[in-house]
Every structure is written in structure tokens, then in C-alpha cells.
């Protein structure tokens, strides 16, 4: 009998952890392993706000897949997945097709504009290395252009960010560090460059207690970030966001949407039952009725049996799901029973630039300021270690011995 073929879609947190664990647990005689990813590198999605602000180099946030996966053991295919034909167990790629016995679906998130008119056409979104680098380059171009033009329009220096969730707030935190640097570089008065965050709900970062939110907001305001809270974005034009019931236009030279994400559209292309942009999976991480498909990370909702709500979709969750899916595939191949996923919450930290942050860590302890910023770097290096191992942390980590 031919050996089973395990195909992993996506080399993000969930897919790369699953692939590495499968190679550790299965011998080459037991299974063939295939990893399919758009690029020949993995990027740290959790560092993209820094790439987008230009506070880290894009190359620090990515590494080659061949540095962490043995191409003799894993067949690496660099291509775009367009559809999964579940009825005949085939994955359709832009340039070829691949059959599978077991499938790990881990293609991550895309930006969700919720149908707001003009958003997709006129706003940037932080979704991968290239889209993030483009934002940083666009911002720098605006400053350089302003500085060299005769007739100056100050709105060109305004950066407006739609959405005050984690991504929006971490991004404005980086901008609060970057904008003074750009002003100095291009000889621009700091007071002319605005950073505006627009949030529809009554508070930014509603997952944190009020005292931490107040600390974070004040810290960002002190560094020049303006907030428009309780202000819904109704439309996005080439000039900026149209907000509120009176349709006020907030003009900006850089418009970034961080108002929400959803699972990869390949899910709906493949006919999965969708719920709020993702697929519901059981605690074995398979959608109902699927014996051989695991849907992980930002592509799925996994219900927390304790709270009755889905676990928040984070890198932390994706890493743990990747490991569990690998264990369950090994169990299926060896005719053993699959087991339930148990989430281990390591806490949550939001950075507010290089040296500030807020967070709740393991035992429910609250952190703010430099301690939270340091903790965020520990968290970043830990996730880098889990996907890339110790050598990658030495090369790309935030705490480096030089
Ligand atoms: P991803 O890590 O996004 O990986 C998906 C992979 O699939 C990528 O390699 C992509 O290139 C590939 N891919 C996509 N489409 C295709 C296709 N059609 N064909 C082939 N390959 C494809 N979470 C935390 O826990 N802590 C944080 O501090 C944190 N910070 C964040 C900061 C930002 C700016 C953002 C945007 C998110 C952050 N998150 C954080 C959330 C976290 O990044 C996601 O939950 C996590 O990346 C999900 O992992 P994943 O494996 O599902 O997908
Ligand atoms: P999100 O959905 O968490 O936040 C989006 C924000 O945009 C919300 O506050 C929402 O009220 C606001 N919004 C939506 N529509 C709006 C409108 N029309 N006008 C104004 N505001 C509007 O999305 P995100 O911040 O991109 O985060 C996505 C996921 O990634 C989350 O699960 C988050 O936990 C995770 N993440 C985690 C971290 C971290 O742990 N440090 C960092 C980034 C992202």
C-alpha cells in the first residue's frame, strides 16, 4: 500500500508548526509530507505593524523555509492555493494540482472591509510583508515629497488609521516612534504631521481593563496620537475617511484600514460552511463531517468549552493548534484515537511602540510601560522560537546578543 500523503497549506504559525512536528514524529516510511506556501519564506504576522511603520526591516520579520524545514523530508511547493476539491481530495494551485490523504488548511487571514464603500480601493491594509512594506514606503514618500514641494498641503503628512483593535493600536504606537524620526530626516516641523486613530466603539482595545486602556491611550496621546473614538467610518475615498452621521471627511496622505480580518477566501471557494468569515471546527480541529481535513489558526473558530465562545484568533492559538493537528494526523495514520485540543493561555500584551506597552500576563497580572514592552519582546521571540527554532531567534530575534 502506498504511504499516506499529508499536505499542509500555508507556512504561517499553524502550518509551519504542524509541518515541523509531523517531520519530528513520522518517519519517511510512514508518510509523505508536502508544504505549500505562496512564498519561499515564512513571515511573522505578529510583527507586521512594525514593518508597516518602518520601525523594523522587512527581512527581520521573515526567514527562508529551507532554513527550518528539510527539503529532503518535506516537499516544498511555492505556489498560490486557489481551491480545495474536497470530493476528490485535490488541492488546486495556480500552476498545478496536488492530491492528499490528510489536509491541514492554514492559509491565515485577509483584511475584512465589511463592505465599507471605497475601503478596498483606497486604503492600505497590513496583511503580509509586501503590503506592510508598501505602507512604510508610501509614508516615507509622502514626507519626502512634502519636504521638496513648493506648495505644501499639510494633510499629506496625516496618517489616518481605521480601527482601534490590537493591530490599529500597535501600529499607531510604532508610528508615534517613527514620525518624529521622519520629521527630523526631512526637516519638517513635528506639529505638522498628524497620526489619527478612528474607532467606532466607545473604547479602544476593549479586551483590556479600563485602567490599562486609559494608560495606553494617554501614553499615545502624549506622543502625538489623536483619537476619534465612538466614530464609525462610513466610507473611504482617495482623500481619507468619511466618518459619523454628518459625513465629515478626515483628509490624509496615508490611509490604513485595521478594522478587522477574516479567514482566507479559499475557504469559501472550496465550499466550506462559513460562519462570520471562518469555518467552525470541533475540538479535534476538524470541521463537522470531515475525517481528514484540519482547519487551523485564523481560518477557523474553535469553541472554548469553558466560556462557550470561540478562542480569540491569535498567533498563540495558531501555534498550539498546529501542534495538535500534527498529533491528531499522526494518530489517524497509526490507527490511534484523536484527542481534543486544550488551549493554554499565556496572556496578552499590546505594544505601544518600542519601549511602551500594556498587558495581562499568565497569572492575570497587569503590566504597563517598559515592563510590558520587554514582555512583548519575550513573547515575540518565543513565537519565533516555536516556528523557527533557536538558530532563527539568534539571527532575527528581538533580544539579540549584539
Ligand atoms: P498566518 O500566520 O497569517 O499564515 C498564513 C500563511 O499562508 C502565510 O505564510 C501566507 O503567505 C500563506 N498564504 C495565504 N494565502 C495563500 C494562498 N492562497 N496560497 C498559498 N499560501 C498562502 N497574535 C498574537 O498572538 N500576538 C500578537 O502579538 C499578534 N500581533 C499581531 C500583529 C499584527 C499586525 C497582526 C496583523 C496580527 C497579529 N496577531 C497577533 C494575530 C496573528 O498574527 C494571527 O492570528 C496569526 O498569524 C494566525 O496564524 P495562521 O497560521 O492562521 O496564519
Ligand atoms: P479587531 O477586529 O480586533 O479590531 C478591529 C477594530 O476596528 C475594532 O475595535 C472595531 O470596533 C473597529 N472597527 C470596525 N469597523 C469600524 C468602522 N467602520 N469604523 C471605525 N472602527 C471600526 O482586528 P485587529 O486589530 O486587526 O485584530 C485581528 C486579530 O488579531 C484579533 O483577534 C487580535 O486579537 C489579533 N491580534 C493580536 C495582537 C496581540 O495579541 N498583541 C496584535 C494584533 C492582532
CA distances from 229 to 111, 206, 279 (A): 21, 12, 31
Query: From the CA of 13, which ligand is nearest?
Result: 1
Same domain (yes/no): 327, 216: no
Longest dimension (CA), the chain: 75
CA distances from 276 to 77, 300, 343, 400 (A): 30, 10, 22, 40
Residue 73 belongs to a domain: no
- Whether residue 279 has pLDDT greater than 80: yes
DSSP string, 19-63: HHHHHHHS-TTT-EEEEEESSSEEE-GGGHHHHHHTSS-GGGGEE
Span 209-249, pLDDT tens digits: 999 999 999 999 999 999 999 999 999 999 999 999 999 99
Number of domains in the chain: 2
Residue 320 belongs to a domain: yes
Determine the pLDDT at residue 342: 97
Catalytic residues, by residue number, are: 170
Q: Tell the residue nearest (CA) to atom 8 of ligand 1.
A: 12
Residue 359 belongs to a domain: no
Q: What's the mean pLDDT in 59-69?
A: 97
Does 372 sit in the ligand 2 pocket, CB within 6 Å? no
| Atom number of ligand 2 nearest to Cα 206 | 9
Determine the residue of 260, 350, 383 to mutate for testing ligand 2's pocket, defined as the one with the most ligand atoms within 8 A of the Cβ atom.
Answer: 260
Same domain (yes/no): 284, 337: yes
- Which distant-in-sequence residues (6+ apart) come within 8 Å of 87 by Cβ? none
Same domain (yes/no): 295, 179: no
CB 102 within 8 A of CB 8: no
Give the confidence band of 2 by pLDDT, cuts at 50, 70, 90. confident
Determine the residue of 259, 358, 383 to mutate for testing ligand 2's pocket, defined as the one with the most ligand atoms within 8 A of the Cβ atom.
Answer: 259
Q: The pTM is what?
A: 0.96
Same domain (yes/no): 126, 244: yes
Q: What's the mean pLDDT in 286-293?
A: 97
- Whether residue 199 has pLDDT greater than 60: yes
Query: From the CA of 314, which ligand is nearest?
Result: 1
Residue 309 sits in a domain whose CATH number is: 3.50.50.100
Give which of 113, 356, 385 is closest to 234, Cα–Cα: 113
Q: What's the mean pLDDT in 331-344?
A: 97
Same domain (yes/no): 217, 184: yes
Same domain (yes/no): 182, 252: yes
DSSP string, 364-394: TEEEETHHHHHHHHHHHHHHHHHHHHHHHHH
Determine the residue of 164, 167, 348, 353 to mutate for testing ligand 2's pocket, defined as the one with the most ligand atoms within 8 A of the Cβ atom.
Answer: 167
Give which of 153, 156, 175 is closest to 226, Cα–Cα: 175
- Whether residue 137 has pLDDT greater than 60: yes
Same domain (yes/no): 140, 222: yes
List residues near ligand 1 (CB under 6 A): 10-15, 36-39, 45-46, 48-49, 80-81, 106-109, 126, 128, 167, 170, 264, 266, 297-298, 313-316, 318
- Beta strands 74-78; 97-99: pairing state: unpaired
Indicate the burial class of 11 (C-beta count within 10 angstroms; 0-12, 13-18, 19 or more).
Answer: buried
Q: Of 298, 314, 345, which one is at a domain's C-terminal end?
A: 345
Determine the pLDDT at residue 363: 75
For the chain, the average pLDDT equals 96
Residue 269 belongs to a domain: yes
For 251, the grid coordinates are: 483628509
Q: Of 257, 275, 293, which one is at a domain's C-terminal end?
A: 257
Determine the pLDDT at residue 68: 96
Residue 228 sits in a domain whose CATH number is: 3.50.50.60
Give the confidence band of 271 by pLDDT, cuts at 50, 70, 90. very high
Range of the domain at 186: 119-257
Does 380 sit in the ligand 2 pocket, CB within 6 Å? no
Residue 303 belongs to a domain: yes
CB 16 within 8 A of CB 42: yes
CB 293 within 8 A of CB 86: yes
- Whether residue 48 has pLDDT greater than 60: yes
| Atom number of ligand 1 nearest to Cα 48 | 34
Same domain (yes/no): 214, 268: no
Q: Can you point out the beta strands (E) in 89-152?
A: 90-93, 97-99, 102-105, 109-111, 124-125
Span 73-108, pLDDT tens digits: 999 999 999 999 999 999 999 999 999 999 999 999
Give which of 229, 277, 250, 245 is closest to 114, Cα–Cα: 277
| 3-state secondary structure (DSSP) of residue 162 | strand
Residue 364 belongs to a domain: no
Report the chain's C-alpha Rg in angstroms: 22
Q: Tell the residue nearest (CA) to atom 35 of ligand 2.
A: 314
Same domain (yes/no): 148, 178: yes
Determine the pLDDT at residue 401: 47
CB neighbours of residue 285 within 10 Å: 26
| Atom number of ligand 1 nearest to Cα 42 | 9
- Whether residue 354 has pLDDT greater than 60: yes
Same domain (yes/no): 232, 135: yes
Same domain (yes/no): 136, 198: yes
Q: What's the mean pLDDT in 375-402?
A: 87
Give the confidence band of 31 by pLDDT, cuts at 50, 70, 90. very high
- Whether residue 1 has pLDDT greater than 80: no
Q: Of 304, 319, 345, which one is at a domain's C-terminal end?
A: 345
| Ligand 2 center to 216 CA (angstroms) | 16
Q: 252-264 burial string, b = 16+ CB within 10 Å, else e?
A: bbbbbbbbbbbbb
Provide the 8-state DSSP code for 130. H
Query: From the CA of 45, which ligand is nearest?
Result: 1
Same domain (yes/no): 130, 247: yes
Q: What is the ipTM of this complex?
A: 0.98
Residue 394 belongs to a domain: no
| Atom number of ligand 2 nearest to Cα 205 | 9
Length of the chain: 402
For 391, the grid coordinates are: 538558530
Determine the pLDDT at residue 233: 98
Determine the pLDDT at residue 222: 98
Q: What's the mean pLDDT in 277-306?
A: 97
Spatial separation of the C-alpha atoms in residues 235 and 106, rounded to whole Å: 31
Residue 51 belongs to a domain: no
Q: How many CA atoms does the CB half-sphere of 277 hold within 13 Å?
A: 16
Spatial separation of the C-alpha atoms in residues 301 and 313, rounded to whole Å: 8
- Whether residue 402 has pLDDT greater than 50: no
Determine the pLDDT at residue 254: 98
Amino acid at each position: 500500500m502506498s504511504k499516506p500523503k499529508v499536505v499542509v497549506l500555508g507556512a504561517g504559525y499553524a502550518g509551519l508548526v504542524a509541518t515541523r512536528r509531523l517531520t519530528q514524529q513520522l518517519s519517511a516510511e510512514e508518510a509523505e509530507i508536502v508544504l505549500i506556501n505562496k512564498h519561499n519564506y515564512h513571515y511573522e504576522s505578529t510583527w507586521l505593524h512594525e514593518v508597516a511603520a518602518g520601525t523594523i526591516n522587512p527581512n527581520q520579520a521573515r526567514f527562508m523555509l529551507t532554513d527550518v524545514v528539510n527539503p529532503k523530508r518535506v516537499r516544498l511547493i511555492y505556489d498560490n492555493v486557489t481551491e480545495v476539491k474536497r470530493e476528490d481530495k485535490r488541492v488546486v494551485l495556480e500552476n498545478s494540482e496536488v492530491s492528499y490523504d490528510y489536509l491541514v488548511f492554514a492559509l491565515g487571514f485577509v483584511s475584512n472591509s465589511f463592505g465599507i464603500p471605497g475601503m478596498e480601493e483606497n486604503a492600505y491594509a497590513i496583511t503580509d510583508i509586501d503590503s506592510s512594506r508598501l505602507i512604510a514606503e508610501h509614508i516615507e514618500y509622502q514626507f519626502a515629497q512634502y519636504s521638496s514641494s513648493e506648495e505644501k498641503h499639510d494633510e499629506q503628512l496625516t496618517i489616518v488609521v481605521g480601527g482601534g483593535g490590537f493591530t490599529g493600536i500597535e501600529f499607531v504606537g510604532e508610528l508615534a516612534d517613527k514620525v518624529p524620526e521622519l520629521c527630523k530626516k526631512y526637516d519638517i516641523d513635528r506639529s505638522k504631521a498628524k497620526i489619527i486613530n478612528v474607532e467606532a466603539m466607545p473604547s479602544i482595545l476593549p479586551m483590556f481593563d479600563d485602567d490599562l486602556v486609559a494608560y495606553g491611550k494617554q501614553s499615545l496621546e502624549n506622543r502625538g496620537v489623536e483619537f476619534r473614538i465612538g466614530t464609525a467610518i462610513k466610507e473611504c475615498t482617495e482623500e481619507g475617511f468619511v466618518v459619523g452621521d454628518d459625513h465629515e471627511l478626515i483628509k490624509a496622505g496615508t490611509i490604513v484600514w485595521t478594522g478587522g480580518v477574516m479567514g482566507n477566501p479559499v475557504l469559501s471557494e472550496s465550499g466550506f460552511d462559513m460562519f462570520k468569515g471562518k469555518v467552525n471546527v470541533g475540538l479535534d480541529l476538524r470541521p463537522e463531517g470531515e475525517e481528514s481535513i484540519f482547519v487551523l489558526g485564523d481560518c477557523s473558530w474553535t469553541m472554548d468549552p469553558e466560556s462557550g465562545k470561540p478562542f480569540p484568533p491569535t498567533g498563540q492559538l495558531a501555534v498550539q493548534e498546529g501542534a495538535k493537528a500534527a498529533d491528531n494526523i499522526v494518530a489517524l495514520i497509526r490507527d490511534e484515537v484523536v484527542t481534543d485540543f486544550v488551549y493554554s493561555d499565556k496572556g496578552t500584551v499590546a505594544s505601544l511602540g518600542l519601549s511602551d506597552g500594556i498587558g495581562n500576563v499568565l497569572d492575570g497580572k497587569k503590566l504597563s510601560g517598559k515592563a510590558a514592552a520587554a514582555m512583548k519582546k519575550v513573547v515575540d521571540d518565543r513565537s519565533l522560537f516555536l516556528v523557527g527554532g533557536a538558530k532563527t531567534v539568534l539571527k532575527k530575534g528581538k533580544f539579540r546578543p549584539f
